Chains A and B, each alone.
Chain A
Amino acid sequence: GAVVSQHPSRVICKSGTSVKIECRSLDFQATTMFWYRQFPKQSLMLMATSNEGSKATYEQGVEKDKFLINHASLTLSTLTVTSAHPEDSSFYICSARGGNARAKNIQYFGAGTRLSVL
């Protein structure tokens, strides 16, 4: 299967600081990348969808100024949590899908980033 690398896996930061999370597709070109948030014992909640070279599309209720997404290339997307607060503490997961016609609906996931804001 395709490989998606997410970094860092764990970050602890002080309230008010910004945190950047990187998501890379290592062996395929990611037409679209997705960012999810997952609370304990819950399913994945889609935050935003980004296509390379375009502005991200945010889901209802997700603050775009709070969660900045950049998809500058076909292999890299970043999520920046700006002015993080304790309520932003969560597990953030990225995924990517390629343009392969047979597998265009498949998303491959990164390992996730556990963010703790003190």
Chain B
Amino acid sequence: QKEVEQDPGPLSVPEGAIVSLNCTYSNSAFQYFMWYRQYSRKGPELLMYTYSSGNKEDGRFTAQVDKSSKYISLFIRDSQPSDSATYLCAMSANSGGSNYKLTFGKGTLLTVNP
């Protein structure tokens, strides 16, 4: 079993739809959870950062972490064609000994159709 599982998609939705992206993980030591957006041929851009369980909202984006289920989600409201990208979940343990390495999901390719 991989440490982080993420459905690669592709996911195609109409403009204005609510998008739900998810990752599951197996390492209970993970405490820091991030979502990155990566446009084609570009580096990943940090969207959301959450520590431990709970919800965090930023504009049209909401990140949820459920540590009891080892499940994290990213919701995008009122999706726009400009949201079309690959979304990567990433997580790390609170471990300076590991240099705070991130473990990534495979990424979900999202297309928002006008």
Contact = CB atoms under 8 A, between A and B. Distances in A.
Task: Give the interface residue-count category, chain A.
Answer: 20 to 34
Interface string A81-108: 0000000000101010100000111111
Interface residues of B, number: 24
B92 to A, nearest CB: 5
Contact of B101 (A41, A46, A109): A46
B88 A49 contact: no
B25 interface: no
Nearest to A49: B99
A68 B101 CA distance: 20
A69 to B, nearest CB: 13
Contact of B42 (A104, A106, A111): A111
B43 A110 contact: yes
Contacts of B36: 109
Interface stretch (B59-67, B68-76, B102-110): B102-110
Contacts of B41: 91, 112, 114
Contacts of B99: 32, 49, 51, 57
A42 B102 CA distance: 16
Interface of A: 1, 4, 6, 32, 34, 41-44, 46, 49, 51, 57, 91, 93, 95, 97, 103-112, 114
